[in-house]
Structure 1
């Protein structure tokens, strides 16, 4: 498996003689030596004709209708499902909210903003040559679309690319950044965090008489880890230059490929980024997930719930796994309902469990959505930057 900071044995490093780069281009991945899509034969030439980043993505009427339907589903899950699994009515939940310290919601807003800022640092690193302000605006807007629109992840990605293009970034830097940031998120969300949850679940007997019964959590985490590892393994295999070259050659016999060598140069730029900026890509996202776990811990403690730290890690991992369920955008409503059910299974009062998960949603859902709307509006009203 290719790991950041290493090059597969027998494979030339990006930019070394024999790596397929054109003479005089410099090392792959350096934004100074590559142009935008207008540069004939550039590393992004194979994709620039099919990817429109010069105009913002548009939401069709069907997408808008699906977004409203998804919102209704989220409200149904929270309005009906949450009281059902916790056995607490909304009157009880409302009283719990009123009894919380006045600083509870503002603290959740701060933690949600910190997590968003840390994730934006990863985006800033992935999109070489970008400014942090542009990374914050692009990531926030993209995340908000992914959470608000069913199947909005792809639309959010295109929106991120459009905003980065609008900020003046070249196509190669955008494509490389999207792939790099996606790989980091996949590694952590689909494999790292579920694996951490499994370890925490296995160790919980050390802090209590027996492991807590988290409904479906064990199998969900196992499935997520298995799927994540398989996907990462295939991605690592495909990033080997020899393997990718063979795949491109096979595809070229069936489908027309404008510039097969440009695909390999794009791969070289991606591997160069992963090798040289691994800490900047992984570190901020890991810290962002730690802040979100801290938000869960604060929400639990604010409601007076006594749960061992290892158990909170398992519940947090379960919530992140369920966020992958495509029933609602970002798993909103599902994660809160199942998280509350897990707390009730651990002996927590139903109204406290429901209120804790709703308080957590302020940091994980409300803040990203509101920040994304503001960021998109600010980015659209700012004049486009000169293309670099």
Structure 2
């Protein structure tokens, strides 16, 4: 009985703690979420054509991830591993959409979403080792782009236009930043000395806060992560970095358009800073997808940069409606379609796998 009880605690204890933390987090952010959704009727005042514009931008952001996954899954398998099959765009999109939806509704967030995405890709015929390596590389390169954005935000703040100028210039900012990110990304993948210098500089800064981290250890870790990304996207470095940059920049452009739809006035560089901080809040594992924390944080930051509180609330709601809430039912539909497809094709697969009967050759 004690052994069974211990196994039960080990199996469900972590999940219970996770659910408790998620519940406490949702309780904390509930007032901000209620305030946000209280502005829902105000969305009717927005010109209808802004909504498809936002959907197109977010679709492009997701499509960049699909392209990135396709590049990563094309890597060569190791010795003794089966060669990867070329997955179709539909399979890759379905796996990413289903995993993304799961990461936003299931406790465990990105981990649960990654497991579901990997499961769908493996069921589609991809070797497990290739899928694990591909998803790790995708996570590393997209996180690297996110960590690079704060560094690029500083010069953007310095050279940006004066306050109250056209927010639409943020679309040009996103294009310029994408080009810069591609250049820096390819440099990091091809020039080891550059990565060493960056790692040592970061290690010295981190050492001031955490003594166990040194310049050499940080540099070695960064090189190891770089090598994993370089191996996963070997022969496709330019495309991979461009896809990772496009994923972030299309998403930032969607935020710019959401605010432009409300005739908000702010410097695009300051909106970029608010976007970067909001994306960092999605990494907080308290609530799935940073639910509540991202909404409250983004609204507060938009107010800080000079946007009225009312406009900031509606703009955040509009942006999160397209970037966070809409992909959830889309991902659910994708997962449901995949399950139906498996149910239909499974009998034929089993029949094809069965050895022929002894009399069939006669």
TM-score per shorter chain, which class? 0.5 to 0.7
TM-score normalised by the chain length of structure 2: 0.65
Equivalent-residue separation in structure 1 for 2:225 and 2:22 (angstroms)? 36
Tell me the residue number matched to 1:187: 144
SS in 2 for 1:133: helix
Equivalent-residue separation in structure 2 for 1:368 and 1:232 (angstroms)? 36
Equivalent-residue separation in structure 2 for 1:89 and 1:158 (angstroms)? 31
Tell me the residue number matched to 2:66: 120
SS in 2 for 1:275: coil
For each residue in 1:184-227, what CA deviation from the matched residue of structure 2 results, as whole angstroms up to 9, or x when unmatched?
122112x22232334334545x6359xxxxxxxxxxxxx9xx78
| 8 Å CA contact 2:71, 2:233 repeated in 1 | no
Tell me the residue number matched to 1:80: 31
Equivalent-residue separation in structure 2 for 1:167 and 1:357 (angstroms)? 37
More helix by share: 2
SS in 2 for 1:382: helix
Q: Offset at 1:360?
A: 0.4
SS in 2 for 1:373: helix
SS in 2 for 1:122: helix
SS in 2 for 1:362: helix
Q: Could you say if the C-alpha distance between residues 64 and 119 of structure 1 is closer, same or farther in structure 2, counting changes exceeding 3 Å?
A: farther
Q: Could you say if the C-alpha distance between residues 305 and 240 of structure 1 is closer, same or farther in structure 2, counting changes exceeding 3 Å?
A: closer
The 5 A counterparts of 1:55-74 are 70=22, 73-74=25-26
Q: Does 1:207 align with 2:162?
A: yes
Q: Does 1:158 align with 2:115?
A: yes
For each residue in 1:3-40, what CA deviation from the matched residue of structure 2 results, as whole angstroms up to 9, or x when unmatched?
xxxxxxxxxxxxxxxxxxxxxxxxxxxxxxxxxxxxxx
Tell me the residue number matched to 2:128: 171
| 8 Å CA contact 2:271, 2:302 repeated in 1 | no
| 8 Å CA contact 1:123, 1:177 repeated in 2 | yes
| 8 Å CA contact 2:282, 2:290 repeated in 1 | yes
Equivalent-residue separation in structure 2 for 1:340 and 1:367 (angstroms)? 19
Mark the runs of 5 or more structure 1 residues left unpaired by the alignment: 1-58, 210-222, 242-266
Equivalent-residue separation in structure 2 for 1:94 and 1:382 (angstroms)? 37
The 5 A counterparts of 1:9-24 are none
Q: Could you say if the C-alpha distance between residues 334 and 232 of structure 1 is closer, same or farther in structure 2, counting changes exceeding 3 Å?
A: farther
Q: Could you say if the C-alpha distance between residues 71 and 368 of structure 1 is closer, same or farther in structure 2, counting changes exceeding 3 Å?
A: farther
| 8 Å CA contact 1:319, 1:339 repeated in 2 | yes
| 8 Å CA contact 2:18, 2:108 repeated in 1 | no
The 5 A counterparts of 1:141-152 are 141-152=98-109
Tell me the residue number matched to 1:108: 54
TM-score normalised by the chain length of structure 1: 0.61
Tell me the residue number matched to 2:252: 293
SS in 2 for 1:276: coil
| 8 Å CA contact 2:255, 2:319 repeated in 1 | yes
